[in-house]
A and B are shown apart, each in its own frame.
Chain A
């Protein structure tokens, strides 16, 4: 059993209420922070803990906090990014739904550390019922003197608001989120200036993921040094992983970073193995935007090292043979999956969600989707496969925000690892008429056959 921090009390009945949450030791970090610590001490603890942003990019949270413009006379803001829209990721929803007070406590401690007097939780439109849960919890916190004026009898005051978005994936990008929060069209901003200098209402702002903020009270409680002992190397602490796909036990799991991928997929504590005893075919390790991995690169890296659930191990080998931990959306695919159809589905998503501001992403995502649609439905040519690689290359890195990269990487990696399957679709249009074409007779790849079998 790995150590649990965020989800330690998730199964306690009534944990969503303030009463039970406090009984289980809740708000002790807020008390400790507000009464005994200086704001900079908390930032220092977070820095020591090595906590990295849990939203996908993995940027050290303490460092992000220290970038905030302290000289500015404008008010500072903390914004929590609860616009969790990455396909395959549902960890924040689980956390907010089950233990809403852990996020509120995190907001209090983090806002105090940053010197923010007003903070926002920006939640996606589809999580309307979670909004109700959060608002109820905030009401409870106000009534108990944990929010509002003079929190816990100290001279620190904080107002916390929940703002619901319209349900756009792009509003999960931090500057698009700020635009949307300001009431504008959710287009990402040009950077620099970064939000730490000029963010919400042109004031210094920090935007953090739900999980990052919820981890802060635990760091305050057990100290940064203790937190840094969990995990391996620069990947410290625990991480929520949303496991889905062809596995026996899909769900949100809290793992210690450094757990091996093999154990995570096959042990009964976590995913419980592949559903129906089928063969593992592919894995998306960190939400739909990260490169896909073929079977022979999942449990072992290209150099033969066991693959671990850490930022470093998953990205070992770069994009040629690695992927990213991303937001922790762990999608397992068995051999009934058609990679072309899967890639097309993702391309359709990114086409739908592109904001349309910069040309490579606006035009390129739609183009890739149309070409993939053609290949999947038996109208593709060999040239189309190279065309896709070329389009992906021209989008990648040339856009304002990372959505362009996120749209290009899955497609480029799918072709890199599963080119044979794309070629099969072009050569055998009659065999792929049934949408479930690999369900009864899985695709046999010469490349995969040549490598040791993974079970």
Chain B
């Protein structure tokens, strides 16, 4: 076990835990944001640099501070380590820089982007970004392409977190896509226009932190905040079948995995559940999904619809009584 202090909060975690996971075990403001790390994908993390933290004391045995800011998702805790996240001005400054870098070539097309409302980059931008850009140059653009018949790739929006390539590598039998070119011309692409047709390929939509990979069966269906998420399940032979249905009235617009407060799914779901079961009758609906991510969609008003309805009836009665009394 190792004792680590993050922003003044003392935590005891098993050896070999990363700083990020140690912080997540407590939760709250001490958790650094992460755009590329995904706990369920091996080898992910370290690339986006939003989770940089300052280590002011390496360990009890070696109390020297680390010379540079370290990525908390890839740095293991040591006994006696002291970490500064939001309490360090250096970290906040670096994070601001990273957010600015991520946004300079981003098209900022949130008004027409399906991910808007549940986008990690949007949330990060609101929290750590500046109100105006200093970037006056032309943004780089790409053509939109279809990777597989169910997934659309908007490379303009991609932040190159590499998560989808890890999905391709670790969830599917045959990886057909990856990163080509380098520097700011790097892009996600398929191997010579190959189609991605694997039962679990749809999960790359769920792991994408931005709107680069979107579900073609649900694109432009509705803004996410006009839909209500419902936990549902069905008997599925290839996956757990536990999903979230994003519904408008009785209509199922979109099916996704169940994401936790850090935007990570509990279990990966198969393409049949995701793309083909768009009828509410095929699902056993458990109830409204509680969204606890820091996002515009976490108002969770639909959870209380029943009470609100009762309230309205109550008030209507009261008003009616008043009128009757005259």
Q: Which residues of A contact B (CB under 8 A)?
A: 168, 170, 185, 190, 351-360, 362-367, 370-371, 387, 393-395, 397-400
Contact = CB atoms under 8 A, between A and B. Distances in A.
Contacts of B159: 359
B181 A359 contact: no
A393 B183 CA distance: 19
B69 A397 contact: yes
Contacts of B47: 357-359, 400
Interface string B137-153: 10000000000000000
A190 B102 CA distance: 20
Nearest to A363: B101
B137 A358 contact: no
Nearest to A184: B178
Nearest to A397: B68
8 contacts: A352-B183, A355-B186, A356-B160, A358-B49, A363-B105, A394-B100, A398-B68, A399-B49
The 9 A-B residue pairs with the shortest CB-CB distance in the complex, in nearest-first order: A394-B97, A356-B186, A363-B101, A354-B183, A366-B184, A190-B46, A370-B137, A397-B68, A356-B183
Nearest to A189: B46
A357 B74 CA distance: 15
Contacts of B178: 185
Contacts of B183: 351-356, 362, 365-366
Contacts of B97: 360, 393-395, 398
Nearest to A188: B46
Interface residues of B, number: 34
B160 A362 contact: yes
Contact of B184 (A185, A365, A387, A399): A365
A358 B94 contact: no
B128 to A, nearest CB: 13
A360 B104 CA distance: 11
B71 interface: yes
A77 B183 CA distance: 30
Nearest to A404: B49
A367 B98 contact: no
Nearest to B185: A356
Interface string B68-108: 11010010000000000000000001100110111011000
Contact of B49 (A355, A360, A367): A360
A387 B46 contact: no
Nearest to A352: B183
Contact of A367 (B94, B104, B181): B104
Contacts of B182: 168, 170, 353-356
Nearest to A383: B134
Contacts of B186: 355-356, 362
A363 B94 CA distance: 14
B255 interface: no
A356 B184 contact: yes
B69 A190 contact: no
B132 to A, nearest CB: 13
A365 B184 CA distance: 8
A357 B160 contact: yes
